[in-house]
Amino acid sequence: MTRYDVVIPTFNAPAARLAAAVRSARACEGISRVIVIDDGSQPATAACEGCGLIRQENAGPSAARNRGLEASESAWVVFLDDDDELIPAGVAAMIALAEKLDAVACVAARFERRAGLVRRKDVPGEWAGKLLPHWSDVLRPIAIFGASGLLISRRVVEGGLRFDPGLRVGEDREYLARVGQMGAIVVSAEPALTVALREEGNLTSASHLARRIRDHVVIARRFCEPRCDGHLREATTWLVNAAAKSGVDEESWLVLLGLMRARGWPVPLKARVRRMFRAAK
C-alpha cells in the first residue's frame, strides 16, 4: 500500500479544532505520519494524540509547510489546514489517480462548510479525472488550488521545491505553479476534504486586501507567459473591485492599478468611480 504523510501547519488553533483535523488524517488508510507544525502559537500547541509535533517561531504558513516537507519521509505528502478535515475515500482516490497518470501532484473536489451549511464544490468537468492541460491553469481563480488537500509527490520534495516564505496570501497557488512546471498535475473528481470557510468580511477587509494585493502583484510579475494572462487578469479585476469597495490604502490601490496598466488590462470604470467617491468623503 502506498504510504503518505499529512502535514498540518497550525497557529493559535483551538485544541478541539486541531484535534478534529488530526483525527480526520489518522482515519485515512495508508497514513504513515501526521506532522503538526506549531508556527509559534501562544500558548504553545499541546501535543496531539497520534501525531508528531514540531514547534518553530512564528514564520507564516509557507515556512511551516516547508518544515513539514523537510520532516516527511513517505512517497506522498498531503497538506491540511488546521480547520479542515480530510475524507479518507477522497485521499485514496487522489493517490490512485496520481499514480495511474504518473503525476507529481493532485488537487481534488471538496466540500465547503460555512455557518453550519455544507455544499459540494466540484472540479471543472473538462478536468475531472485528467491531467491539468497546462501548469498556468493553477492561476485560474477557483477554489481547488489551495494548499489544504493538496497531494505532493516525493519527487517534488526531493527536487527541492518549497513554498515562498515571503508570501502570506496566494503562496499555495504560486507554489503549485512551480510544481506544475516540474511535472504533471492531475485533478480528482472525488471530494478529498471538507473546508471551513471564513466569514466573507474577513476576506474583503481593507487590511487583508492590502496583504493580498502585495502578494498578488509579486505573483503576477513572476508569471508573465501569455497563457497566464487571462487567469491573472480575472483575479486582478476581482481585486480592483474589492479594493474599491473596502477603501484599501492609497499605496495598495496605486500598486494594483499599476499592474493592470503595465499588462494592458483595462481598469473597471465602476471601480474607479467608487474609489473616487470614497476618497471625496
Indicate where the chain has its CATH 3.90.550.10 domain(s). 4-196
Residue range 256-262: mean pLDDT, rounded: 94
Closest by CA to 99, choosing from 168, 47, 30, is 30
CA distance 270 to 197: 28
HSE-CB at 63 with a 13 A cutoff on CA atoms is 14
Q: Could you write out the three-class secondary structure of 183-240?
A: CCEEEECCCCEEEECCCHHHHCCHHHHHHHHHHHHHHHHHCCCHHHHHHHHHHHHHHH
What CATH architecture is 4-196?
Answer: Alpha-Beta Complex (3.90)
Which pLDDT belongs to residue 201? 44
* Bridge-based pairing state of the strands 130-131 and 185-188: antiparallel
Interatomic CA distance for residues 206 and 129, integer angstroms:
38
**Could you tell me where the DSSP H helices lie in 72-170?**
88-100, 154-158
Comparing 22-36, 60-74, 189-203, 260-274, the range with the smallest average pLDDT is: 189-203
Q: In the numeric block, which cell numbers belong to residue 190?
A: 472525488
pLDDT one-digit tens code per residue, 127-165? 999 999 999 999 999 989 999 999 999 999 999 999 999
Q: What's the whole-number average pLDDT of the chain?
A: 93
